[in-house]
Structure 1
Amino acid sequence: MSLLMMKSLFSYKAWANVELFDVLETLRQEDGLRTAIRTMNHIYVVDRIFRAHLLNQPHGHDATNTKSTPALVTLRDAVAETDSWFLEYVDTLSDAALVERVRFSFTDGDAGVMSREEMLMHVIVHGGYHRGNVGQILKVAAIAPPRDLLTRFLHVTEPERRD
């Protein structure tokens, strides 16, 4: 995959997260807010774990979610910071760095090896999958989820594509 496409995907991820958090602010506890926050927190924790893998640092997690549930505003800020980090990180990569294989440990202690490109794609795909889960929670609460689509992102951020 090209670095240009990787940058576009991480911009899309950050945009989709903002859109989803905007809608989550309207969700009530009884409509599944805690479950939605737990799911978004899971995405965040996995993003942070893979950030540590990319930096060859310990991640300090023994699970892919935290025991306590953060406040929505706290999580939103943490996700925005992490999304910014990934955008900056991808901007520094070369094609050679993308294919470099990195050894790491999963939260269960098992060893893993992935290229940086594979890790970054995991972060993108994993987040999209679970944002879809949160979209289903919103639908059950009779709230329309944001249209989390790459095509929509491209046309919103580059309206000239509609000309």
Structure 2
Amino acid sequence: MEKSCYSDLEAWVFEDDAQFLDQIATLIPSTISSSVVTLVCMTVVCIIFMYNLFTVCVATFSIMSVCIGVFGFLAMWGIDLDPISMATTIMSIGFSVDFPAHASFHYYRTGIESGGKWSPEQRIYHVLAAIGFPLLQCGISTILFVFCLLFVPSYMSEVWLKNI
């Protein structure tokens, strides 16, 4: 029989947050491994859909720099890696990668569809005409959502604002 915390009473101490406190020790290794696996998966997706090695390298480097930038700024602001900051970091990196990824892919596809005849300016015009307004709507709705969090005095709101 195992010894309990209070062996004379044969009792254990119950902690409501024990299921979360046990996971905090694994947050840093889990976050690092998740970030690396995500970067590798995104690189594979880019290789599948974009056949240009230079474009794949630029996309991979962009994703990596966004991750490093987000984690670097959080460290600079003194925000430790906890379940709340990890969740908001994942979402903010998703926002940071999503919009440029759509624009880059449309720019790349425009070059293929035009047979290389369009100038970069024409390709950018075509991209902005196709997805510029939806991206603007997404950006504005995100900013309005984040603006509302300014009025909520909580740790989660502070971390989310700093992440965005």
Q: Normalising by structure 2, what TM-score?
A: 0.32
Q: Normalising by structure 1, what TM-score?
A: 0.32
